[in-house]
A and B are shown apart, each in its own frame.
Chain A
Amino acid sequence: MMGLPIVIIITMFPSIMFPSPTRLINNRLISIQQWLVQLTSKQMLSIHNQKGQTWALMLMSLILFIGSTNLLGLLPHSFTPTTQLSLNLGMAIPLWAGTVITGFRHKTKASLAHFLPQGTPLPLIPMLIIIETISLFIQPMALAVRLTANITAGHLLIHLIGGATLALMNISTITAMVTFTILVLLTILEFAVALIQAYVFTLLVSLYLHDNT
């Protein structure tokens, strides 16, 4: 029971890194963050119509949260909330359900028509509807498990290779190669930001398909 409140504080910690703009012209940190957020939001919301662009706040908060928690998790001995499947499911299920319900509410016929691609031969129709339904319900699971597995696997690899380097320190020459592997792996892992791009992009595609068609 004692652990639960602390994990809430740890999860809320990255929001301290993003001060909110108070003036017309802010200091350098806030200006850089503002520019980055505007760049990302313009890129991300360009394919939506007016109804889809009301989700701008949610999508930008999502990408900032996942990006900052993943990047802060690369520091040694830090805790990454996104390695826990519970948090990723808690993010994926409400957002995916929101997009599906939005599609059903505003464009009922078009949402139901997604279950049957055009031009399928008549005998295949029942099988294909079952397959499309399964692929729809797997979307939130895939979103959550993809994020969890990628971040956890990266952290695990860093732990293992770092431990191997330490153990091999007494035997030289091999140490240099392993250390270089760690360096390259860490740089590649800093494309955890690319992963949150993948997360938000996938969520975005889902929103686009369900809402706007």
Chain B
Amino acid sequence: MLQSLIKNVWIPLKPYYTQVYQEIWVGMGLMSVIIYKIRSADKRSKALKASSPAPAHGHH
């Protein structure tokens, strides 16, 4: 069933996915790198905030 669906989507759109949208795939990779950086920075700051229970008011 899945294979027949891929046959309905992939076969008609193969030139788009392989040739026309090459640069868009690169752009999606760039976007995923940005998302990964933001998520890891957020996790790091949350872990830092959780591991230091002393309230620090004036840290710059």
Please count how many residues in chain B sit with their CB below 8 Å of the partner chain's CB atoms: 11
CB of A48, distance to nearest CB on chain B (Å): 13
Please count how many residues in chain A sit with their CB below 8 Å of the partner chain's CB atoms: 16
From A54, A93, A95, contact of B20 by CB (8 A): A54
From A57, A96, A105, contact of B27 by CB (8 A): A96
In the assembly, what is the distance between CA of A137 and CA of B5, in Å?
39
Q: Which of B13-60 contact A (CB under 8 A)?
A: 16, 20-21, 23-24, 26-28, 30-31, 34
Contact, CB under 8 Å: A97 / B27: yes
Q: Which residues of A contact B16 (CB under 8 A)?
A: 54, 57
Contact, CB under 8 Å: B23 / A98: yes
Q: Which secondary structure dominates where chain A touches chain B?
A: helix
B20 nearest in chain A by CB position: A54
Contact, CB under 8 Å: A95 / B31: no
CB of A184, distance to nearest CB on chain B (Å): 39
Q: Which residues of A contact B28 (CB under 8 A)?
A: 94
19 contacts between A and B (CB under 8 A): A54-B16, A54-B20, A89-B31, A93-B27, A93-B30, A93-B31, A93-B34, A94-B27, A94-B28, A97-B23, A97-B26, A97-B30, A98-B21, A98-B23, A98-B24, A98-B26, A99-B23, A101-B23, A102-B23
Measured CB to CB, the residues of B under 8 A from A are 16, 20-21, 23-24, 26-28, 30-31, 34
